[in-house]
Structure 1
Amino acid sequence: MTSPTTARQASEQGRVLADPTAYADNHRLHEALTWLRANEPVTWVDSPPYRPFWGITKHADIMDIERDNELWISGPRPLLLPAEAEDAIKRDQEAGIGLRTLIHMDDPHHRDVRKIGADWFRPKAMRDLKVRVDELAKRYVDRMVEIGPECDFVTDIAINYPLYVILSLLGLPEEDFPRMLKLTQEMFGGEDAEHQRGEGTTEDLMAVLLDFFTYFSALTKSRRENPTGDLASAIANGTINGELMSDMDTLSYYVIVASAGHDTTKDAISGGLGALIQNPDQLARLKGDMSLMPQAVEEMIRWSTPVKEFMRTATADTEVRGVPIAKGESVYLSYVSANRDEEIFDDPFTFDVGRDPNKHLSFGYGVHFCLGAALARMEMNSLFTELLPRLDSIELAGEPEYSATIFVGGLKHLPIRYSLR
């Protein structure tokens, strides 16, 4: 067993977990994560302005933690934030005005709230939505033809396509889509100078959340007075034990669906195309055998890992891989590391459109498995099924750029040159 004293000597490699700039540099990030998996899979990280935590980098350990949602809970610290932001959110939650999405909740409340939107992401609902998704996929491939032969695939295509899908599902008017896009970028881009609001301070983040809440408060009032049969109406009128959800739970539900529901898919789509461009043998293989598309989509999701981490807090003294972890201490679940774990994936740094099995953890695991996973898969399948048969050639037209982030992110610019029919 590793002694507590030894375990708490923070390694330099472990600091990448709390360094937003590391996620914009794949070589640096994966070099450190590979070292951690081999040498210090449970690592103590003390890196202000964040409170200390244990970094968990092995696939099996992350699955074990996510399975036991009584020992490891989300509520106190569901994701890594600066201490100042954690304190501000906690104060707001205690006052009944703070963001409290599904990722902040634990059972039984998490289970009850999740049920309200679950039917909208089940297989029947996905089949009903597929016509709209296919229409939007064709619209955006046609858009590539219109603006070609060059574009920034992220800003011109990958951002807008899943945004239109998720906001159509919610039933929001198209004239509001740009506003939702800007707020989402500001919320997830707090560590990135290009996307953050103001200086990216805690006050700036709180202002973004307030803007979200103002918009969705008006939407809730409208949908309660006049339900319209969309997901927004289901959320506005959702009940638990016969009572409407609290205002904050309702508003938080909108925020997580409207923001995470498109931003993560944008990252998987752009990361997937980037991988195909940089692995032309795999692009040719997929074009030659489109029946591989389901496996290819899973590989794109593994490769890009849009959600970098969630956190859990121990409800009792325990240990992970022989390292003692005290009650009240938090662990950081590194999905990026788990998705390159050599013990789980053959040649994990090889992009393989036919990879099977593919036990990636990009959607999480256990009770918090991503509610919108089926929708994300369908959107990606529809877009690449429309794009690849029409694609004559494609190459990079500049250097890809990644977001600085520690939570959700991926490519923020993917300049490409292409020929499309």
Structure 2
Amino acid sequence: MSIANYDLSKEIANLLVDPKAYTDLDRLHATYTWARANNPVGRATADGHDPFWVITTHADVSAISRDNVLFHNGDYSVVCRPKASIDHVLATTGSPNIVRALVHLDGDEHKNLRALTQSWFMPNSILKLDDRIRTLARAITGKLQQQNGEVIDFANDVALHYPLHVIMDILGVPQEDAPRMLTLTQELFGSEDAEYKREKQRQGEVDSAMGKALMSVVADFKDYFERLTEERRTNPRNDVASLLANAVVNGEPIDEVSRLGYYIIIATAGHDTTSSSTSVAMWALSRFPALLPRLQADPSLIPQFVDEALRYASPVRHFMRTATADTEIRGRTIRKGDWLMLCYGSANRDEAVFPEPFEFNIDRKPNRHLAFGFGSHVCLGQHLAKMELRILFEELIPRLKQVEPAGEMDFIASSFVSGPKHLPVRCVMQ
């Protein structure tokens, strides 16, 4: 069978790289559903992009994620961006990736750097954060009590800020600098969204403008974290910034590029994806009235509610992998150097794993979602994210009388990390 038989249509290929497509989830998931049934390992040739394979089933996404020898993160861009954008970053930094964080590393280098902070995010370690997180959750509940019955933008006014304050505490960023971190995160992950992207991105050639804007955001991160590093070398504290400022691997201090990547991945992914799942959980409470009384009657179901919100949200839309040798997947010949898109949103709607995948069902147990990825690159902060969501809804659900939708949920235009940008709801409190 020739490779042409595996080709996805130009329409599908262009949809998968179009940031606006990720604001229309019905259309996106219809495409994923068709691909899982008809071409689960399809080759895409999108305008302005290098060709890539599109991986849509839970089994294949899991298998590729598990095999870190055959499929590398760092050999080419881990995000599917226009070729001109990647070329600009490559020419500027010598790497196809704008930073050098854990998600861009492979093998022992990834293992050794991940080990630096892993203990900070393990279940036993984050237990000490319970009081701090619960205090924040109670403050949110109190604010909603003051706004009783008013229409609020839950995504923008609540969900964005709750996990942000938690991760800033862990990292060691002063709370007065949290708004700056939020803006930079939105500009990094929302670089394709008109509401978030930098003005610089609108100048110059369209395809390379994204790379230029992203490099500008990284430069601002670098400026901030270089100052923080110097401060923590002089006055170390019990926080991750002090650990990174003074980190040593194999007897040598970690290099500046790796340190910056580490700071950025924690400062951004440490809250952005959690806020998206928080909004989707509230959306579910507003759209499915039977959920709230059930959770109030049995609070032990809240962890399952959280897991289902994570599956449903799937805020990381994709990561890319690069084949290190020729191989086969479902009879398709994948060549060394080929680029593969792992579609987590599709894997989390796979009918083979999740019966009635488009239903919001808190009774899925086990819930084998891939919202945090899989394998050695599984999200470092997965336990913290679940804890934050659980505590917020443990505090909020008993005090809610009713949640009503007050408009449609609006999504960030991004093919990489995307979640609710606006969620208008009316909360009636007890």
Deviations 1:210-259 (A, max 9, x none): 00110001111111121111111112111111111101111110100001
Residues 2-401 of structure 1 aligned to structure 2 (within 5 Å): 2-8=1-7, 10=9, 12-75=11-74, 76-94=76-94, 99-148=99-148, 149-198=150-199, 200=201, 201=209, 202-401=211-410
TM score, norm. by length of structure 1: 0.96
Question: Contact between 2:188 and 2:217, CA under 8 Å: does it hold in 1?
Answer: yes
Q: CA deviation at 1:95?
A: 7.9
Q: CA deviation at 1:14?
A: 4.1
AA aligned opposite 2:40: P
Measure, in 1, the Cα distance between the counterparts of 2:81 and 2:284. 30
Question: Contact between 2:244 and 2:259, CA under 8 Å: does it hold in 1?
Answer: yes
Q: CA deviation at 1:45?
A: 1.2
Question: Contact between 1:400 and 1:413, CA under 8 Å: does it hold in 2?
Answer: yes
AA aligned opposite 2:310: I
> Which structure 1 residue ranges, 5 or more long, are not aligned?
none
Give the match's secondary structure for 1:81. coil
Q: CA deviation at 1:415?
A: 0.6
Give the match's secondary structure for 1:350. coil
Deviation beyond 6 Å, 4+ runs, structure 1: none
TM score, norm. by length of structure 2: 0.94
Give the match's secondary structure for 1:43. strand
Deviations 1:150-188 (A, max 9, x none): 210011100000000000111211110111111111111
The structure-2 alpha-carbon separation of the partners of 1:128 and 1:49, relative to structure 1 and needing over 3 Å to count, comes to same
Measure, in 1, the Cα distance between the counterparts of 2:79 and 2:96. 20
Q: CA deviation at 1:8?
A: 3.2
Comparing 71-80 with 195-204, greater Cα deviation is found at 195-204
Comparing 331-340 with 17-26, greater Cα deviation is found at 17-26
Give the match's secondary structure for 1:108. helix
Question: Contact between 1:154 and 1:412, CA under 8 Å: does it hold in 2?
Answer: yes
Question: Contact between 1:13 and 1:36, CA under 8 Å: does it hold in 2?
Answer: no
Q: CA deviation at 1:265?
A: 0.3
Measure, in 2, the Cα distance between the counterparts of 1:292 and 1:277. 17
Measure, in 1, the Cα distance between the counterparts of 2:399 and 2:97. 49
Measure, in 2, the Cα distance between the counterparts of 1:289 and 1:143. 25
Measure, in 2, the Cα distance between the counterparts of 1:325 and 1:258. 35
AA aligned opposite 1:244: P
Give the match's secondary structure for 1:22. helix
Measure, in 2, the Cα distance between the counterparts of 1:156 and 1:402. 15
Give the match's secondary structure for 2:164. helix
Give the match's secondary structure for 2:270. helix
Given candidates 406, 411, 422, the residue that maps to 1:402 is 411
Q: CA deviation at 1:199?
A: 5.4
Question: Contact between 2:89 and 2:96, CA under 8 Å: does it hold in 1?
Answer: no
Q: CA deviation at 1:387?
A: 0.6
Measure, in 2, the Cα distance between the counterparts of 1:274 and 1:14. 30
Q: CA deviation at 1:107?
A: 1.0
Q: How many correspondences in the alignment?
A: 420
Give the match's secondary structure for 1:280. coil
Report the RMSD for the aligned CA atoms in angstroms. 1.6
Measure, in 1, the Cα distance between the counterparts of 2:192 and 2:147. 31
The equivalent residue for 1:416 is: 425
Question: Contact between 2:73 and 2:322, CA under 8 Å: does it hold in 1?
Answer: yes
Question: Contact between 1:100 and 1:249, CA under 8 Å: does it hold in 2?
Answer: yes
Comparing 213-222 with 197-206, greater Cα deviation is found at 197-206
Q: CA deviation at 1:125?
A: 1.2
Measure, in 2, the Cα distance between the counterparts of 1:50 and 1:297. 36
Question: Contact between 1:394 and 1:416, CA under 8 Å: does it hold in 2?
Answer: yes
AA aligned opposite 1:415: P
Give the match's secondary structure for 2:53. strand
AA aligned opposite 2:88: A
Comparing 302-311 with 138-147, greater Cα deviation is found at 138-147
The structure-2 alpha-carbon separation of the partners of 1:49 and 1:199, relative to structure 1 and needing over 3 Å to count, comes to farther
Question: Contact between 1:14 and 1:43, CA under 8 Å: does it hold in 2?
Answer: no
The structure-2 alpha-carbon separation of the partners of 1:16 and 1:172, relative to structure 1 and needing over 3 Å to count, comes to same
Give the match's secondary structure for 1:333. strand
AA aligned opposite 1:46: T
The structure-2 alpha-carbon separation of the partners of 1:314 and 1:3, relative to structure 1 and needing over 3 Å to count, comes to same
AA aligned opposite 1:61: D
Question: Contact between 1:78 and 1:312, CA under 8 Å: does it hold in 2?
Answer: yes
Deviations 1:2-53 (A, max 9, x none): 4323223545334332121111011111111110100111111111232211
